Amino acid sequence: MTAENESGSGRRRWWLIILSSLFILFTLYYIVMAVLSSAQKMSAINEEFGYKADEKNPLDSRIFSDSSFVKLNREKAYFQSRNIMAETDSISLALNLSDSTAILEINGVTVHKAKLLKIDAPKILYKGNEYAISSMLSVPFSVTDNFGTIMKEPLMLKVAPKDTSEYKPDILPDTTNSAAVNYIMQLDHGFRLYVYQDTGDDAGGTMNRLIFDLRDRFDQIWTIMKSIAGFKVPEYHPSIRLRMKKTDARIVYRALPRHGQIALFR
C-alpha cells in the first residue's frame, strides 16, 4: 500500500509539473504575441503616416522632438481635422483630451459641449512616433460600427388620425429614462472609442457598466485566443475610454451619425 501511495503521489507530482510548465509557456507565448501585436500596429501607423525624408531638402530630425514643434503640430492636426468635418453637413464630434471636453459640431458651429469626467487613452497616442500620430490625427476618424446598451435611434410609434380632430402633435421622446448608457464605437485604423456614463454612487449603474465591459473583454479574449491558436499575431485595437454624465453620453451617441466623424486632440 505504501509503494502504491508513493507511486500515485509521484504521478500527480509529474502531472502538476507538466501542467504548470504548459501554463507558463502559454503565458509567455501570450505576452510575446501581445507585444508583437502592439508593435505591429505602431509599425503600420509609421509606415502610412511617418515622415518621408526628402533628399533634396533634408530636415533635421531633432525638430520632431522639440516641445514647441510638437505642441504646434498637434494643434495644427486638430484644426485640420475639424476643418474637414466642418465641410460636411453632418454632426461631428471633437474630442479634446487635453482640456477634457467633447464637442458636437455641425459646419464648425458648436451645438453641444460636454465635460469628460474620466479619460483613459492608449499609450500609443503619447509614446508612439510623434509625427506619424499627428499626421494620422490630421484627418478625422470615421465610425465604422456602433454597439451600446441603448438604441442608436429610439423607436417611435405613430398612429395616423382618422380626421383632423384627432390630430395630436408629435411628443418628443423622454430622454430621462433609466436605461444605462454605455457604448462602443469602432473607428478606422483599428481604434475603438468607449463611452461610459458616470454612475457616481449608483450601484445598479456601476454593475451595468462592469457587465458591459466584461462582455466586451471576454469577446476580445476569445478573438485573441483564436488568433494565437492559429499562430497568428492578434490585431491590436488601441482603446480610448471616456466617462461623462449620462445625459451627455446619450446625446453624443444619438446625435452622431452611424458613420460619423471624430476629431481628436491629445
| Sequential DSSP letters for 92-142 | EEEEETTTTEEEEEETTEEEEEEE-SEEE--THHHHS-HHHHHHHHTS-EE
Cell numbers describing residue 88? 460636411
Residues whose CB falls within 8 Å of the CB of residue 206, separated by 6 or more in sequence, listed in order: 199
C-alpha cell at 152: 442608436
What CA–CA distance (Å, rounded) separates 27 from 19? 12
User: How confident is the prediction along the chain (266 residues), in pLDDT tens digits per residue?
Assistant: 555 555 666 677 888 888 888 778 777 777 777 777 888 888 889 888 988 776 666 666 777 778 888 899 999 999 999 999 999 889 999 999 999 999 999 999 999 999 999 999 999 999 888 999 999 999 999 999 998 999 887 545 455 566 555 555 555 454 446 788 999 999 999 999 999 999 877 777 888 888 998 999 888 888 888 887 787 888 889 999 999 999 999 999 999 999 999 999 99
Going from the N-terminus, what domains does the chain have, and what CATH number goes with each? Answer: 2-265 (2.40.440.10)
143 φ/ψ angles, rounded to the nearest 5 degrees = -80, 125
- What distances in angstroms separate CA 183 from CA 84, 149, 194, 250, one per listed residue? 25, 6, 6, 9
Q: DSSP readout, 8-20? A: HHHHHHHHHHHHH
Cα 131 to Cα 134: distance, rounded to the nearest angstrom? 5
Q: What is the pTM of this model?
A: 0.80
Q: Determine the Cα–Cα distance for residues 96 and 27; give it in Å rounded to an integer.
A: 37
Instruction: Please give the Cα distance from 186 to 258 (Å, whole number).
Output: 10
What per-residue confidence (pLDDT) applies to 166? 55
Distance CA 143, CA 16 (A): 48
- Cell for 238? 488601441
3-class secondary structure, 210: helix
